[in-house]
Chains A and B, each alone.
Chain A
Amino acid sequence: MAPLVNNARWKDVTRNLAERDATFVAMWGERNDEGGNVNLAVRHKGERSIEIVSHSAPDSHYPSVGRHHPSAILMERAIQDVYGLVADGLPDTRPWLDHGFWPHSRARTSYNFKPALGPGVHQIPVGPVHAGTIEPGHFRFSVNGEIIVRLEARLGYVHRDVLGLMRGGAIDDAAALVGRISGDSTVAYAFAFARAVEQALGLTVPPRASTLRGIMAELERLANHLGDFGAICNDSGFSLLNTHAAVLRERVLRLAALVFGHRLMMDCIVPGGVLRDLNEEGATALKSGLPSVLVTFERLVDLYEKTASLQDRVVGTGRLDPALASLLGCGGYVGRAAGQDFDARRDMPYAPYDGIDVRVPVLSSADVDARVRVRIAEIQESVRILLCLLDMMPKSSIHAALPNDLTVRSGAALVEGFRGDIFAFVRVCDGRISDVFVRDPSWFLWPALEAAIEGNIVADFPLCNKSFNAAYAGCDL
């Protein structure tokens, strides 16, 4: 699993990406005495593992992957800003994370947005401070009348150098940081990071810990999908469903707090296992609470389907070309609503999902409605999986001590978060992190959103945006 510097293999893998024989997973850089290395992770078609290959950048230059495969462009721009490693041939060399405000900034503060030319075309700048209680980012709309002809998202406002803070630190400290990369996916991030560390150290976690991780991950998925379902309806002008869905979300969060001591279940999953066990009282609360959430939810789904004014807003709106979803490697509800039949829980199975039949909803209409319907199906499926896991509950310890290993070891993992698959890579030595990367699904959702919104009206943007619900902090890192 250790990424070996192999410039020849890098070329092969880049060709695989260009020829669509592999799905792009992640790219990240690291500085060393000789200049640096750039790492590339891909998933080959039909394979259940991820290949990681490195390219040396002795004079801070390496051959661009982005020139052959668009998913890599944003990451190569980020690598340029943070590590000063330049991708030769990168089609878009504008800074991404560096806005010119850091003490060590290389960028200027002005930023040239992509042009949209034509009679009557004008621009609407939005953000970074938005009207709602959401994360910061800038959207530049080029519009002709009401029609959006081009959207460009500019992010990086919440770049905190999480990875830099993790490197060199103890594994436990890194685990706390990884849980704060994207708060809505804290469980999925901690899960992915823990699995990567465990793979690096060759550690098998106790079965009860794996089952508890599954319960936490499904509770997180459930809470987020419920919140999104309501928020999308709200942005369609139908606040009644939001009111009811928000109550259901709150019920799930309270169950999480009751059972695991934290509403978002932060810091519950750590490398080696979990820190919170499930007692009888908690299991009973989940077994009675979850089906009742689902019963109420079915009523909301019925209302969603039968409200013509709502359907009018969501059906056909913000359609994402399935070919583009495939090219970009979009996962989660965005990918699955556009025919991408991938779910890490089923296709790259890991405990506890390796013992469970995970049903993956896949639709092809790729509009806001499809993204809502994928969420609806996943809510139902999550409750089923939760009840299944609760019945399994093996008896064992919930944590295994990490072996103290002085050799350099690395590991990687792919975990299905609510938004899509989260990739984690880690290299550890003597209990410390020497390299780490965690990739949010949103890296591929933002370019997809830019494409899906084309030809829609400005008033439908909030609705489309919410149906993607891409993370800002998750890819600003």
Chain B
Amino acid sequence: MRKTLIESLFRGKLTEPAPHLSDEQKSGLVGTVNRIAQRRLGRSLAIRHVDAGSCNACELEIIALNNALYDLERFGLKIVASPRHADVLMVTGSLTHNMGAALRLTYDAMPAPKWVVATGDCACTGGLFAQSPVCIGALGQLLPVDLHIPGCPPDPAALLRGLIALISGLGAVAHESGKN
């Protein structure tokens, strides 16, 4: 173990600024997340994920956001276990009738102001399952959606880009949520 630890120490960070983007986009991306997240939320945006009928591909890519190369938490974005701690509800899947009640309860358990992100094609539009008799369809039919991140599944870079878009628009959305 000592050898691995010492090597890791001297090898330097694995973390990348942002994957699969041009240099220009890369620096822009990192800068934006850091600056805006700090301004709006004091480096703290807590995300609660709920799978509402996903095939598990979106989950794999959300999990990948936490690996050392993407390191989501350096941006102040943190995936949390309880909806009570969450600012953002990140929903994946084609919204099955069987998950409708649990999703609603999770949303209701979150303190306001709160934002909803439809993650992946299924949550955005119902995807290939839009016509299923046991699915409700797009997430928008059940909850007010603040951001859509398309993709099947969206890769970690797309997820990061989407979260930046959300943070950039938070001021306006928070105002609306306050009225509800």
Give me the interface of A with B, judged by CB distance under 8 Å: 97, 99, 101-104, 128-129, 131-136, 156-162, 164-165, 176-177, 180-184, 186, 227, 240, 243-244, 246-247, 249-250, 253, 257, 263-264, 266, 299-300, 303, 306-307, 471-473
Q: Does B75 contact A (CB under 8 A)?
A: no
- B115 interface contact, C-beta 8 A: no
Interchain CB contact under 8 A, A183 and B54: yes
Nearest-Cβ distance from residue A145 to partner chain B, whole angstroms = 24
Q: A160-B96, A247-B69 are in contact. Are A264 and B59 (CB under 8 A)?
A: no
Known: A157-B99, A165-B132. 18 other contacts (CB 8 A): A99-B98, A101-B100, A102-B98, A134-B51, A135-B51, A158-B99, A161-B132, A161-B133, A165-B128, A177-B128, A181-B55, A182-B56, A183-B57, A227-B63, A246-B64, A250-B69, A299-B4, A473-B54
Q: Give the number of A-B contacts (CB < 8 Å).
A: 142
Contact partners of B69 in chain A: CB under 8 A: 247, 250
Contact residue among A135, A160, A164, A249 (Cβ-Cβ distance under 8 Å from B94): A160
Rounded to whole angstroms, the CA-CA distance of A156 and B82 in the bound complex is 22
A135 and B102 form a contact (CB under 8 A) = no
Main secondary structure of the interface of A (DSSP, over half): loop
21 contacts between A and B (CB under 8 A): A102-B133, A102-B134, A129-B105, A129-B106, A131-B82, A133-B59, A158-B54, A159-B96, A161-B132, A165-B131, A176-B128, A180-B152, A183-B56, A227-B60, A240-B4, A247-B14, A263-B61, A264-B60, A266-B57, A473-B54, A473-B55
Q: Which of B55, B66, B134, B152 contacts A161 (CB 8 A)?
A: B134
Interface residues of B in 89-109 (CB under 8 A from A): 93-94, 96-103, 105-106
Asked if A133 and B49 make an inter-chain contact with CB atoms under 8 angstroms apart, the answer reads yes
Known pairs A133-B62, A165-B132; A471 contacts B56 (CB<8 A): yes
Nearest chain-A residue to B19 (Cβ)?
Answer: A254
Residues A180 and B55 in contact, CB atoms below 8 Å apart: yes
Q: Across the interface, which residues of A come within 8 angstroms of B58, CB to CB?
A: 183
CA distance A99 to B135 in the complex (A): 13
B166 interface contact, C-beta 8 A = no
Docked Cα-Cα span, A102 to B136, in Å, equals 10
Closest to B53 in A: A158
Q: Give the residue among A136, A159, A244, A247 with the most B Cβ atoms within 10 A.
A: A136
CB distance from B7 to the nearest CB of A (A): 9
**CA A273 – CA B94 in complex, angstroms?**
29
Q: Please give me the residue from chain B that is nearest to A180 by CB atom.
A: B55
